[in-house]
Amino acid sequence: MENERKKVMLSGIKPSGDLTLGSYLGPLHHWPEMIEEYDCYYFMADLHAITVRQNPADLRRRTLEQLAQYIACGLDPEKCTLFIQSHVHQHAELGWVLNCYAMFGELSRMTQFKDKSAKNADNINGGLFTYPSLMAADILLYQPDFVPVGEDQKQHVELARNIVQRFNGVYGEVFRMPEPYIPKVGARIMSLTNPAAKMSKSDNGDTGRVTLMDDPSVIMKQFKRAITDSDTERCVRYDKENKPGVANLMTIYSSATGKSFDEIEKEFDGQGYGKFKPAVGEAVVEMLRPIQEEAKRIMADKAYLEGVYRAGAEKAEYIASKTLRKVYKKVGFLPR
């Protein structure tokens, strides 16, 4: 049917650091593919960024750069909704309401709260504890069918689903039940120097990260120093448990070239890591080159970027306001 509702997809990334290769090969690489099939909302999650202290000027700069990089990665603002989270006040308002429907035990079990509390022991603030409620608001405002997430974020979607079940159980069918959407390949890119940890965009101390806008010489240097394994056979073989560093590099190479793991193993059979690591670096450089060129071109046109985020916020607010009005009515707030 022509008037059949397109399924809704929504996701956002915090501008708390520079977008990395992991950001691109994880969510961003797959987002443009979804535009034709889904009604997509993608945002810069700046409200979430301030759970950790930010330099205000850097946060503003990264937010704008991230928007430019979104577009350079293939997110056409004519075909999807691109907006800045803090420009749509309904996120913060629904976040408070959902705080009252998220249980203390649920929030205290959030893995990222534990991790960030350990890293920011001098600033374990209330927002750091309750941000999953805001994340649930981010999701539920737009009544999405799917939320593309990495494995490490699946817990937050599960909390949102718990809140939907709890809220709808009291007030009826207010929120649509969202499903996590996890890409099969490249969903989680690990640090090049610590394959047990996710490649971080917020941790400047992560020497194993590659950012989207890194110079080719920096990218090549990072891959040449990447951790592989101590296996005496030094063969390129996918074994995530016993050869996590090699498996991570193979995942990156596969995502950059489209080659299967079997094809990669055959390509580097008998060549060792000395040939493999630079080849991965070169593939990444070539993959990122057009993105970098387009992002720089877009960043030079501030008026265009302002037009994009203003139009995006207007469209997002129209949808978000309908959900929030319904929620306010259900919980008993008087209309203005």
CATH number of the domain that 225 lies in?
1.10.240.10
Nearest to 33, CA basis, from 83, 77, 82, 74 = 74
Instruction: Write down the H helix ranges in the chain.
Output: 21-23, 31-34, 46-49, 56-72, 90-99, 104-108, 111-119, 126-140, 154-171, 216-224, 244-257, 261-267, 273-299, 302-331
Burial 236-252 (b: 16+ CB within 10 A, else e): bbbeeeebbbbbbbbbb
DSSP, res 24: I
Residue 199 lies in a domain: no
Question: 241 — phi, psi (to 5°)?
Answer: -80, -45
- In this prediction, residue 272 carries a pLDDT of 82
70-85 pLDDT, tens digit each: 999 999 999 999 999 9
Same domain, 23 and 169: yes
Residue 1 lies in a domain: no
Q: Is 190 helix (H, G, I), strand (E, B) or coil?
A: strand
Contact between 10 and 42 (Cβ < 8 Å): yes
Same domain, 174 and 226: no
261-280 pLDDT, tens digit each: 999 999 998 888 989 999 99
Same domain, 171 and 103: yes
Enter the pTM of the model: 0.88
Residue 12 lies in a domain: yes
Same domain, 174 and 244: no
Same domain, 60 and 162: yes
Residue 200 lies in a domain: no
For residue 222, what are the domain limits? 216-296
- In this prediction, residue 1 carries a pLDDT of 40
Same domain, 268 and 315: no
pLDDT-derived band at 313 (thresholds 50, 70, 90) equals: very high
Same domain, 60 and 95: yes
Residue 2 lies in a domain: no
Residue 129 lies in a domain: yes
- In this prediction, residue 69 carries a pLDDT of 96
* CATH code of 146's domain: 3.40.50.620
Q: Report the phi/psi class of residue 272: left, alpha or beta, with left for phi > 0 and alpha for psi in -120 to 50.
A: left
What is the set of active-site residues? 116, 198, 201
Same domain, 251 and 166: no
User: Number of folded domains in the chain?
Assistant: 2
Residue 73 lies in a domain: yes
Residue 3 lies in a domain: no
Same domain, 36 and 171: yes
Same domain, 229 and 287: yes
pLDDT-derived band at 152 (thresholds 50, 70, 90) equals: low
